Amino acid sequence: MKKTPFVTKEQLEKIVEQYPTPFHLYDEKGIRENIKALKEAFAWNRGYKEYFAVKATPNPFLIGILREYGCGCDCASYSELLLSEAMGIGGRDIMFSSNDTPAQEFVYADRLGAIINLDDISHIDCLEKAIGKIPEVISCRYNPGGLFQISNDIMDNPGDAKYGMTTDQMFEAFQILKEKGAKEFGIHAFLASNTVTNAYYPMLAKVLFELAVRLKKETGVHIGFINLSGGIGIPYRPEQEANDIRVIGEEVRKVYEEVLVPEGMGDVAIYTELGRFMMGPYGHLVTKAIHEKHTHKDYIGVDACAVNLMRPAMYGAYHHITVMGKEEEPCTCKYDVTGSLCENNDKFAIDRMLPKVETGDFLVIHDTGAHGYSMGYNYNGKLKSAEVLLKTDGTTELIRRAETPADYFATLDLFPIGEKLCKK
């Protein structure tokens, strides 16, 4: 099996004439087809809403595409709330799912009318002190602890995660919030990351639906929505099979009909907070081979680095690489594909079999549409790259310019050298 870029070598050669490498390229056509499929998969639920995880790809042009299909924003910080407000997004179109939350962020989220999702039972008092009340609509994040597994496969370890409340705390929190005036309640959970199986969401749904039934019976609250959060992954490796969102939606529907409907809870809305699934496959990091080195190993040095894509350096994550124009050539050469940071983990691939790479070849690093640009940083004084949208008609649009030295030095404006540096 192989991964095929959504852009051809001929297209890319024209694009790089306008935008120098490296840059992140996004596929508008793929994004639109994907959100349509998601909405169709959950169309059976009248209140269904996708809250796009802004942290995955915080670009207003891309979020704007999702907004055309009714998506809201899942925010976790002041800046993400600020971006949403600047786009005219507010009220129940924002889900504020934060943790270790500063008081001023609760204040801002409340001012925007966002649904606030509390990560810890102690945050009830923090929220009340910050905004002077408990909102009528409130959500709580659940963590059942232990291991989360499907059959014999361990998917993740919620017991080691810093997020969410225990089962007992959920019941206590709902009772306290009800006494303080909350009218509509939501349940939220994120128990496994980047799952490449259609079984994850249905199993998570069963856990949350059964908890919702118990909470309603024992506390008497009205549960208005259940947020399945993220966790639906993408096939980073060519041999992995992609999730089928329509199968996932149908299996969640079956659990909904089995658990909630008989309890008179057939009006509960289903929410999701997908980031990686929504954008991941529809982004490429486009870079150029600028050096080759032959010492104890063979290295290909490219003009991108971990500043542009941190996941391989941070997690050892696999991202597939296509050498443009050599898609059909045999992979006979073993390379480490590296950036120029003064860190030995600045590698996009280690011992990767590729066609022979020559200086000047364009490389496409796949599946960077989520947690690609957004995780970038400025170590070594490296500057973050541009973001470009490949539109449905084949034209391109610059949706974020590349950083300049003036951007990097902007916060040194307190010092006499700041002005001089910013002019370089």
By annotation, the residues acting in catalysis are 342
Give residue for tokens 């390379």.
335
Q: What is the DSSP string of 102-143?
A: -HHHHHHHHHHTPEEEESSTTHHHHHHHHHSS--SEEEEEB-
**Per DSSP, what are the bridge partners of residue 138?**
116, 185
Look at residue 419 and give its three-state secondary structure.
Answer: helix
Burial (CB count <10 Å: 0-12, 13-18, 19+), residue 252: buried
Q: What is the DSSP string of 27-41?
A: EHHHHHHHHHHHHHH
Q: What are phi and psi of 266, to 5 degrees?
A: -75, 0
CA-based R_g, the chain, Å: 23
**Per DSSP, what are the bridge partners of residue 396?**
390
Separation between Cα atoms, residue 174 and residue 215, nearest integer Å: 8
